[in-house]
Structure 1
């Protein structure tokens, strides 16, 4: 027997397998996902010529020929290939080694003189002795991996569900002289410490779908009560007294290669569905610190989101069409003027385009209807007059147009902004008309200071009633006769992969679009934990 051939056949696979599991191995071409997959079914071959990708010029041709034709312990893939240039998995190594050992045992049992001799057996014994340490190491590592796998299988949360969480701690406060509601009362400026905890249970049944159940507890109040204006609201506010609620429940799935759909059963929102926020500041946990700084109010539902649906159809790499419909939380009430289609609702359609490299543009049209007593044109942003131009007692309908843009100047700098118009009509109780306008410009400096950190700057005008008609009289006091400006800056510091610290400051000039009101400052230090 040729000692060098058998040594190559047995030693090379062994060293490859050791390399695949050793911390400093060289053969690391395979990913963890690939290593976890079982090898393809192999079929034994009786001649090296049956392997279509093995050539006489290959450096291991003679060794393969000997192992195939003399010992018959080499197998090929179902497509008649050997694939000798790729790294082997542990499955493949185990299958190949087992085949060779079985064949050797058969030859020993048959005691065929012209096949296996005492010299062959001596050679095999010598190889086992030479590589006893490597084989022992390999066996120990495989045993350890099996033990860990068994432990994970016993202790895993679910075979289909993953648990993801986010916790916010925030120290926040206001600074200013008087409230912006015209009362003349002093601003409530006590510093507060609040929190928000979210647990997302995410399940997948096909590998391409997602069922999300979000549990949430929080105690961050809206600063509108302390300041007299919604312009001071934080982007992560909301107070349930730290009682746990189901704050999100949806199922998303693909239909073919181009269409994706999301069905919301509770707390539906366009921006958490398939309607794109063309801004890097959209996240409440890691984006802008204020509600208005996150994204345009045109793509928010005005009421308290109940059930809804959103979808995205991707034509190609350049264009995609998005649409959504959301009804009020009373969608589960089977009574008149309620339900899925007869209550307050909002629909939107948006075209997102990437006409050139690094530029993303979104143009949207929305239509909303608000019942009397449930009017919220601006999704609780901007002035009180813009939110309810005809009061809360008059049913209101809006037609809305908005444009968003985001352009990457380079790897570090991005610029962008949005512009939105809402044309409101008084449906019941009069014939009033109002035009509500908002705009924002922003700059993001990524990896500012160090990798993973972001500096954000924003300047814009919160929603304002810019014109009225149809007999609507603009209020004398606090009636959007002037212009408010929103200036915001924050710095997101990435402490590590799981913890973000974001100090931020927003300045509201002429709150409630009234230059008689004092400037109000909104500050926070938000710490975000993700797990």
Structure 2
């Protein structure tokens, strides 16, 4: 009982200290010893509505403050009282209404402020081994890659509708403990830290607005899985429309082949349908300006890519998905102006569920003029081939995965295979 009183007093002090502005009546002033509230609380304690407040620990030996009394009243109000007890609770609530109101508001604000900035992130290790078969007299070639990544993703609340979000990535090439020898003989540390994304997002009942640098969501599986700088308007629920406009860096968008400049003007429109049941569908059109070089025909200064895709869930375990894209580039790249991917998946790894797992198999044909920077790990842009993968959660928030890809380069049919492994620690 005394511990309960101390707890109530401590809570009242902490909450009261959170602000220098109080009610007109000092909440820390004592309730007079002859105040009727003592008898009322004693009666409620005797009736079991409030536990431990029916003896001299708070009555007779010493007085208590109005905030302490408000704490007791709040506990009584949480009970399902009736009859005379309810009348007493109502009378007490009216007497200490100002303290109850202030206490409730301040507690709510403290909880809200504690959640103003949320942090998520992960640490991951990725191993990739690529093997390319030599053509004619050329020798086979192997490439190994080992990388550590540390990612932070803060989200800060601005108001009820707006948040500011970011992604900060730091990675290191672990093959040489971060050291990398350049062609000149100089040694680079092999590490890099980059602010990958930063944007403001406004969420409203029927639409969402983004401004800054954020992830593309139109055909991000097949056409390009990269962020861009600009604005986005998305509207609708089950049937969602998306409109994008901005600028995109071309260093990952096959600029050496199709002539996308260092920074390209980009716009796109898309539509997605997903009722959370069995069928989902999507379609989009994306446009980039060009530098008229590489594969690009004369007088062609833009590339347009349209895409369409659909998925179907047979039950909670099996699902299929297929997507197709085609670019506007002419016959100079006729064998790489289309891209498509299809596959079947079984179950799925869930980070929060230890022991969960999933597997998939798919085929990818990723013509480089349509699949500028697709999301796939073992079949890259400009290649075609089979992909197999499995994910497993050995412990909560730890995801392991292994993928294998085999196929050939579209341009010259060079054979290749890729082994990919990753472990992620989520927090």
Who is 2:83 aligned against?
61
> Which residue of 274, 292, 295 maps to 1:354?
274
Deviation digits for residues 4-61 of structure 1, max 9, x if unmatched?
x9665555333599xxxxxxxxxxxxxxxxxxxx99x99xxxxxxxxxxxxxxx9832
> Which residue of 363, 371, 374 maps to 1:459?
363
Q: How does 1:426-445 map to 2 (within 5 A)?
A: 434=334, 436-445=337-346
1:12 partner SS: coil
Q: Matched residues in 2 for 1:506 and 1:76: separation?
A: 73
Alpha-carbon contact 2:219-2:283 (below 8 Å) kept:
no
Q: Matched residues in 1 for 2:262 and 2:421: separation?
A: 42
Who is 2:181 aligned against?
none
Alpha-carbon contact 1:464-1:513 (below 8 Å) kept:
no
1:175 partner SS: strand
Query: Is 1:418 the equivalent of 2:323?
Result: yes
> Which residue of 378, 384, 391 maps to 1:485?
384
- Cα offset for 1:399? 2.1
1:14 partner SS: coil
Who is 1:168 aligned against?
124
Deviation digits for residues 454-480 of structure 1, max 9, x if unmatched?
2122113121679xxxxxxxxxxxxxx
Alpha-carbon contact 1:217-1:240 (below 8 Å) kept:
no
- Cα offset for 1:248? 1.4
Query: Is 1:313 the equivalent of 2:349?
Result: no
Alpha-carbon contact 1:264-1:309 (below 8 Å) kept:
yes
Who is 2:202 aligned against?
253
Tell me how many residue pairs correspond in the alignment.
324
Cα distance change, pair 76–269 in 1 and its aligned pair in 2 (3 A): same
> Which residue of 48, 72, 76 maps to 1:12?
48
Cα distance change, pair 329–418 in 1 and its aligned pair in 2 (3 A): closer
Query: Is 1:408 the equivalent of 2:313?
Result: yes
- Cα offset for 1:217? 2.0
- Structure (1 or 2) with the greater strand fraction: 2
Who is 1:296 aligned against?
222
- Cα offset for 1:443? 1.6
1:344 partner SS: strand
Q: Normalization by structure 1: what TM-score?
A: 0.51
Who is 1:205 aligned against?
158
Q: Matched residues in 2 for 1:465 and 1:276: separation?
A: 14
Larger of the two Rg values belongs to structure: 1
Alpha-carbon contact 1:413-1:444 (below 8 Å) kept:
yes
Segments ≥4 residues shifted beyond 6 Å: none
2:161 partner SS: coil
Cα RMSD, aligned residues only:
4.6
Who is 1:131 aligned against?
none
1:64 partner SS: helix
List runs of 5+ in structure 1 lacking aligned partners.
18-37, 43-57, 79-90, 96-145, 222-238, 278-294, 331-340, 374-387, 426-430, 467-482
Alpha-carbon contact 1:420-1:438 (below 8 Å) kept:
yes
> Which residue of 271, 288, 296 maps to 1:390?
296
Alpha-carbon contact 2:219-2:307 (below 8 Å) kept:
no
Q: Normalization by structure 2: what TM-score?
A: 0.62
